[in-house]
Chains A and B, each alone.
Chain A
Amino acid sequence: MKVRNKSGGALAIVAMASVVALSVSGCTRDGAGQGNGSGASPGITDTSITLGITTPLSGPTAGPGTCTVAGVAAYFGAVNAAGGVKFGDGKTRSVNIKSYDDAYDPQKSLSNFQQMVSDNIFAVTAGLGTPTNRAFRDAAISQKVPQVLVMTGDPLFSDRKQSPWQLGFVPIYQNEGAAFGKLLAGSKDQHKVAILSQNDDYGKGYVSGFKEAIKGNSSISIVGEQTYEATDTSVDAQLTQLASSGADVFFNAMSITPLVIAALQKGQQIGWKPSWFLPSNTSSPTAILQPGGATAYPGIYSVSFAKAPQSPVFAKDPDVVKFLSELKQYGNYPDMPAFPHCMWSYMVGATLEQAFKNMTEPTRDNFMESLRDIKGLKAPLMLEGTSVDTTVDGQPAVSTVVVQKYNGQGYATAENFG
């Protein structure tokens, strides 16, 4: 009896549920922002535009992540205080920034993106991280939401065919490796190069850019090549191996701060003192080179496109002074920026403003068009010889970098190797 009762109940439930489901499925939902008749995209009104940033604000990458918000907030804070941006359609709008913490977790960045869509964000910008940006790239494309000037060296974001609604901001890894390769190829002397790289797309990108740039140059030979895993705690074995090759140039494509410091110290211990190349994100004078005792080496080279506020050379630079005061006042970032991402995202602000000025319609389509049409923009804080150029397919907004040499305190632009 009981059994029959139960199954009967279950059947009734299923039947009833399907009846209700069928009757309700007739309902249509109002298009979530896609189909509004007035022509303006979500997130933009006659007086304001809202941008969203999803970036790590907690966890191990919180430092650079916080900077990506602070720079944009500082730039537009000052612009809003001065009245706002005059758009190409003649209306003056203030720019609002909404930030979301993804803790470098792809699942959370997707969730933040979905939240942004429901919060009516016009465009997503400046967020840091390759996996976190990749996680919602497909969703951004299918919902036609711009995901632009993001902080990732992944070339996918600058490929127009595959990423019609995306654009990377910072140089891709290959750009950096190639810049150093070019400098070295310009040297008249013979050079023996030892390469150590992280065994992933990061390290491979640097190495392939470097090799491309020195191709066919007979005065440069690669005498040793080693890799390490991003989780390794020591690269002593690789260094000893490379030191025995007698190289005078050490190309070290390493992204882990403590490993770089340890490597700088180990080289001195075993008496191998080549010139070094370090990637832009692991070449901080205060955080890496000083504790590593980098002055023992004949030269430490890195690349950059931003003026470093810490460097005495730029202490009185008007861009730097203005940037630091705005960062304090509007960016909620009172200290000297410890990561270049603060400067980069400030430039993102300037690039966005330029795109806004050229926008003739308040739509995302028009925004993408106008963003893809910026050439030769010298954003504040940019180094001599670099500029924003969004018109080249396959390249991020900034693809030019300047090789710099460490001078014991900060960096100065290096014209020649040696």
Chain B
Amino acid sequence: MSSVTSLRSNRTLRIVLIAVVAILLLVAPLVLPVFANQTLVRIGVYAVAVLGLNIVMGYTGQVNLGQIFFVGLGAYVTAYGVNHGWNIVVVFAAACVIAGIVGLLVALAAARLGGLAIAMVTIALPIVGVPLAKRLDEFTGGSQGISARFSDAPDWSRLYSDQWQFYIVLLVTAAAFLLARNLVRGKYGRAFGVVRENEAVAASMGVSPYRTKVLAFTVASIFGGASGFLYLAAVQYTSPETLSFGHSISLVAAMVIGGAGSIAGSLIGGAYYVFVPQLTNAIDPSFTTASQGAILLAVLFLLPEGLVSLPRVVRRLTRRRSKRPAPGNSPQTAPARSPVTEAAPEGLQKTERGKIGHEG
């Protein structure tokens, strides 16, 4: 009984929380300084890329080191469309669809291969992408890159460009997160989970591991393309350096740091991707790589499940501490993670996955 009421109060709490966050997000760009808006815009860009990566890597367990290729592809498609005067909605659709089709084609071949072979194929993408972007200079502007401005605020909006960009990014990012959340909560999410845990079990349950992997990979590519569109909205320029392999690794690191297999973790990952270079620049611009490495190690040692697990870890620590003065308590309650008191979305996720695991 008590758990039912707490569930219900959790739900109202969540609705209130969502409302507050939504209002804050809508109002924020109007009151924040320019640089804060610009930073938030970039966080949105990378949060969508990390979200896509999370679907294929965090939820479905397939190593993907080529996500930046789809971001770059989306950015190039956007630049091309904008410079040829396409309607912006068409441009956005094209960025997603073309990235999705390329992702699908790659996945159809790659998902037939097992485990590490997929990782190898995905490594090839940015490695092929950079020279390709340099070579196809009628489309890409060659190694000098290509500019496209479509995200300056129109006059009727009476907004500054950074505010206008914020709303574009907010719209797409919010839609992407909502869609991703629904996807991983539904039957596909369960399929992703079971394929990740054990492909044989998945097959025995009537879930085709091949199709599931292709689906996850394609969805990740579509998110990558959307992120590329946002990249161009924020940066208004792209060049072959955009899809350099190193950024792909940074995206994976951001995903792990944020929290693999977590929707909220993707947002944190995006924030990590943007904030850490700014932070390390402020510490000492000559030692950015060293301090970034130190931060990465520190997070992984202290919070192996990513920053998203921070509230959980804090709660566990405080609970343990409060238990200590009363040693008479039964010991097994202390470390157990009760799904109800956990941060709600992650909690549900964990239990669902747990169930599948037990059935298998």
- Using a CB–CB cutoff of 8 Å, the interface residues on chain A facing chain B are 6, 9, 12-14, 16-18, 20-21, 24-25, 27, 29, 32, 57-59, 66, 69, 99-101, 103-108, 110-112, 114-115, 117-118, 130-132, 134-135, 137-139, 142, 154, 156, 199-202, 229-231, 332
The reply to whether A201 and B144 form a contact with Cβ atoms under 8 Å apart is yes
The reply to whether B34 and A103 form a contact with Cβ atoms under 8 Å apart is no
The reply to whether B242 and A99 form a contact with Cβ atoms under 8 Å apart is no
Q: Which of B19, B131, B161, B231 contacts A107 (CB 8 A)?
A: B231
How far is it, in angstroms, between the C-alpha of A199 and the C-alpha of B136 when the chains are bound? 11
How far is it, in angstroms, between the C-alpha of A114 and the C-alpha of B274 when the chains are bound? 13
The reply to whether A66 and B34 form a contact with Cβ atoms under 8 Å apart is no
Is B143 engaged at the interface, CB distance under 8 Å to the other chain? yes
The reply to whether B247 and A131 form a contact with Cβ atoms under 8 Å apart is no
Q: Which of B15, B131, B231, B281 contacts A229 (CB 8 A)?
A: B131
Q: Which residues of B contact A66 (CB under 8 A)?
A: 286
Chain B 13-50, CB-CB to A under 8 Å as 1, else 0, gives: 00100110011001100110111001100100000000
Q: Which residues of A contact B240 (CB under 8 A)?
A: 131
Q: Given A9-B15, A17-B19, A111-B42, is A230 in contact with B134 using a C-beta cutoff of 8 Å?
A: yes
Q: Which of B31, B39, B246 contacts A27 (CB 8 A)?
A: B31
Q: Which of A18, A107, A114 contacts B35 (CB 8 A)?
A: A114
Q: Which residues of A contact B246 (CB under 8 A)?
A: 59
Q: Which of A14, A69, A134, A142 contacts B144 (CB 8 A)?
A: A134
B270 CB → nearest A CB, Å: 13
B268 CB → nearest A CB, Å: 18
- Using a CB–CB cutoff of 8 Å, the interface residues on chain B facing chain A are 15, 18-19, 22-23, 26-27, 30-31, 33-35, 38-39, 42, 127, 130-131, 134-135, 137, 142-145, 147, 149, 152, 160-161, 231, 234-242, 244, 246-247, 274, 277-278, 280-281, 285-286, 288-289
The reply to whether B147 and A134 form a contact with Cβ atoms under 8 Å apart is yes
B150 CB → nearest A CB, Å: 12
A232 CB → nearest B CB, Å: 9
- The winner among B143, B149, B238, B241 for most chain A CB atoms within 10 A is B241
How far is it, in angstroms, between the C-alpha of A142 and the C-alpha of B161 when the chains are bound? 11
Q: Given A59-B246, A111-B42, A114-B34, is A13 in contact with B26 using a C-beta cutoff of 8 Å?
A: no
Q: Given A13-B22, A111-B278, A134-B144, is A106 in contact with B130 using a C-beta cutoff of 8 Å?
A: no
The reply to whether A135 and B18 form a contact with Cβ atoms under 8 Å apart is no
Closest chain A residue to B159, Cβ basis:
A25
A177 CB → nearest B CB, Å: 17
B89 CB → nearest A CB, Å: 22
The reply to whether B19 and A117 form a contact with Cβ atoms under 8 Å apart is no
How far is it, in angstroms, between the C-alpha of A9 and the C-alpha of B142 when the chains are bound? 51
Closest chain A residue to B148, Cβ basis:
A138
Q: Which residues of B contact A230 (CB under 8 A)?
A: 131, 134, 143
The reply to whether A118 and B34 form a contact with Cβ atoms under 8 Å apart is yes
* 20 A-B pairs whose Cβ atoms sit less than 8 Å apart in the complex: A9-B15, A9-B19, A17-B26, A18-B26, A21-B27, A24-B30, A24-B31, A105-B247, A106-B235, A107-B242, A111-B277, A111-B278, A114-B38, A130-B145, A132-B241, A135-B235, A135-B237, A138-B149, A142-B161, A200-B134
Q: Which of B33, B238, B281 contacts A32 (CB 8 A)?
A: B33
Besides A59-B289, A200-B137, 4 other CB < 8 A contacts? A58-B289, A117-B35, A139-B236, A230-B134
Q: Given A9-B15, A17-B23, A17-B26, is A118 in contact with B33 using a C-beta cutoff of 8 Å?
A: yes
How far is it, in angstroms, between the C-alpha of A101 and the C-alpha of B175 when the chains are bound? 33
The reply to whether B285 and A57 form a contact with Cβ atoms under 8 Å apart is yes
How far is it, in angstroms, between the C-alpha of A100 and the C-alpha of B284 when the chains are bound? 9
The reply to whether A108 and B277 form a contact with Cβ atoms under 8 Å apart is yes
A302 CB → nearest B CB, Å: 22
Q: Which of A27, A106, A137 contacts B242 (CB 8 A)?
A: A106
The reply to whether B145 and A134 form a contact with Cβ atoms under 8 Å apart is yes
The reply to whether B38 and A111 form a contact with Cβ atoms under 8 Å apart is yes
The reply to whether A13 and B281 form a contact with Cβ atoms under 8 Å apart is no
A11 CB → nearest B CB, Å: 11
Q: Which residues of A contact B237 (CB under 8 A)?
A: 106, 110, 134-135, 137-138
How far is it, in angstroms, between the C-alpha of A103 and the C-alpha of B130 when the chains are bound? 17
A200 CB → nearest B CB, Å: 4
Closest chain B residue to A70, Cβ basis:
B286
The reply to whether A57 and B235 form a contact with Cβ atoms under 8 Å apart is no
Q: Given A111-B278, A118-B34, A202-B143, is A138 in contact with B18 using a C-beta cutoff of 8 Å?
A: no
A179 CB → nearest B CB, Å: 22
Q: Which residues of B contact A131 (CB under 8 A)?
A: 143-145, 239-241
Q: Which residues of A contact B19 (CB under 8 A)?
A: 9, 12-13, 16-17
Q: Which residues of A contact B244 (CB under 8 A)?
A: 105
Q: Which of A69, A134, A142, A199 contacts B239 (CB 8 A)?
A: A134
The reply to whether A100 and B285 form a contact with Cβ atoms under 8 Å apart is yes
Q: Which residues of B contact A231 (CB under 8 A)?
A: 127, 130-131
How far is it, in angstroms, between the C-alpha of A114 and the C-alpha of B33 when the chains are bound? 11
B76 CB → nearest A CB, Å: 13
Q: Which residues of A contact B131 (CB under 8 A)?
A: 229-231
Q: Which residues of B contact A118 (CB under 8 A)?
A: 33-35
Q: Which residues of B contact A69 (CB under 8 A)?
A: 285
How far is it, in angstroms, between the C-alpha of A135 and the C-alpha of B145 when the chains are bound? 9
Q: Which residues of A contact B277 (CB under 8 A)?
A: 101, 103, 108, 111
The reply to whether A103 and B288 form a contact with Cβ atoms under 8 Å apart is yes
Q: Which residues of A contact B280 (CB under 8 A)?
A: 101
B165 CB → nearest A CB, Å: 11
Q: Which of B27, B35, B285 contacts A24 (CB 8 A)?
A: B27
A4 CB → nearest B CB, Å: 14
Q: Which residues of B contact A25 (CB under 8 A)?
A: 30
Q: Which residues of B contact A332 (CB under 8 A)?
A: 286
Q: Which residues of B contact A135 (CB under 8 A)?
A: 145, 235, 237, 239
B22 CB → nearest A CB, Å: 5
Q: Which residues of B contact A14 (CB under 8 A)?
A: 22
A68 CB → nearest B CB, Å: 12
Q: Which residues of A contact B286 (CB under 8 A)?
A: 57, 66, 99, 101, 332
How far is it, in angstroms, between the C-alpha of A78 and the C-alpha of B165 when the chains are bound? 43
Q: Given A21-B26, A106-B145, A131-B145, is A58 in contact with B288 using a C-beta cutoff of 8 Å?
A: yes
How far is it, in angstroms, between the C-alpha of A14 and the C-alpha of B19 when the chains are bound? 8
The reply to whether B135 and A229 form a contact with Cβ atoms under 8 Å apart is yes
Q: Which residues of A contact B161 (CB under 8 A)?
A: 142
Q: Which residues of A contact B274 (CB under 8 A)?
A: 111
Q: Which residues of A contact B236 (CB under 8 A)?
A: 138-139
A9 CB → nearest B CB, Å: 5
How far is it, in angstroms, between the C-alpha of A351 and the C-alpha of B152 when the chains are bound? 34
